[in-house]
Structure 1
Amino acid sequence: MKALPKDFLYRRNREKWIMWLILGFMAFLWGLPLFAAIARGFAFNGVQNFIDVMFNDIGGISLGRTYINTLVIALMHAFFVVVVSALAGYGFYIFEFRLKTVAYFVVLVFLAVPATSILVPLFFITRELGLRDNYLAVALPEAALTLPFGVLLVRNFAEEIPRSLIEAAAIDGAGHPRIWREIFLPICKPALINIGALSMMWSSQDFLFPSLFFSSPEMTTAAQAVLRFREYLGATPDDIGRYNASLVLLAVPALLIVVFGLRFITNGLTSGGVKE
């Protein structure tokens, strides 16, 4: 075995410290707007700015209501994506049919479809279905755009499932519903939790679809409220402090989803990546 250079450990420690310095500097740059908003949120009236925004409506918009709207849409989005991705991933893994590869690639092509390209048809479809100011008007288009990624993730994860396990269950008399429920779902749980967490995170940050389909102040989401609060706050020094306080509080749902979902996202992306 070739001996390690004498300065090997020194170089490793130096590289580690350089990496930490770079990551720390990037984290500082990304966190600087948030730190600035927090500092300006205490301007003039201190904590009272946060209390006023939390417990008083601003232009008919309640901060608590924006939290509820954001959470409901995120949960619906995640539910649709997880269920359909699990069913589609199972179908692409289990069944053999003509043009299977073509169908899979057609699904993947929709990963490249931008949301802006389907705004006009979505607007007319939503109007005809009477879904304006309805949670489904936002949750369904979000789910449709996320589904290709969900199918890709679950299908690739399912490739790690031994075929012998599925065949043994079929020999024992288990049908597809039971195999999907009792074998496929438990094994693919990391991937499904991953796509669910990502769906909630992406939904909580969506500004485009809520702005297009919601007109009632009661349906305002946290991402929308950032702009709408600007229309009512900012004219006076007191309002500027309250506006920055509102920015900090409106970021809470997305931050919580990221903080609590990061572990599942990381585990879901790495699980199944190596065969044992």
Structure 2
Amino acid sequence: MIRSEALCAAPGARSTEHNTCDTHGAWGPLAGDDLLVILGQEVTTPTGHWLALGVEAGQAVDWQYGVRDEAIDREVARVHRGGGICVAAHPHLPYPSGVFMYPFQGFDAVEVWNGQWSSDLPWNADNEAALAEWGRSLASDVHNGRFRPAIGNSDAHQEGQLALPHNVVPASGLSTEAILAGIRAGRSWIAESAGIELSLTASAGERGAGIGQRLTAREEPVTVRLDITGVPSGVVSFHTDRGTVHRESLPGDGSGAVRWQTTEAESMFVRVEVRHPGGSMAALTNPVTIRR
């Protein structure tokens, strides 16, 4: 599920069935001016699953290979040639073929939040492991000029799981190209529900940047600000290449503005996690990068 910020929360759906494109035609009557359907496939190989998003109607992606066959680059390149993006799915899901054994290199994004278990357990240890792995890679990725964004997916196997979690993507229009461009650039953030709204910005002097954007900073202080609603008594944490650098609790009504200051010399990027009092995730963002 996708929420497009720039279009008054117009929804989009990503349709990805396991190893088939036969369900693509079922979505035709549902798509319209107020609902964008992005076609895709969950490619379920013996050594990991991945998502091909933005494929043509009826386009099937080969899944009959594993790590030892060295075929993954070929299939990822096919999706890219058609304008689609490729996502490493649930890297730490603990069942045969569920753990992602391929390198992330070549993939456009990593699924750090998978909600397939149930609406009663929207965040678990497998998601925590995926988030930690992605978070550890951010410093070197940002330093090398491009980070691999994080996304969330319902991976719905039961009723009541759709949009748990979902992605909020600023986009120039309600089109497959615009939404995929926002995801590819890391402009998105992940929400537990439509009841959560947030904005993350970093500013230095008169310059500012948001999620997935780059702030050019010199020697002046950088002010990072999170505005959020919808997480009563939640705990906000700011993360940089130095790890967790700031924590602050939200009031009982779940609304607040959290500020923190840094410099370009101290922080290459800032990202945010917002958790419920018990520790489960409510929302998380991709980073704002800070460069000289």
Q: TM-score, normalised by structure 1?
A: 0.23
Specify the structure having the higher radius of gyration (Cα): 1
* More RCO (CA 8 Å, sep 6+): 1
Q: TM-score, normalised by structure 2?
A: 0.22
Q: Which protein has the bigger strand share?
A: 2
Q: Which protein has the bigger helix share?
A: 1
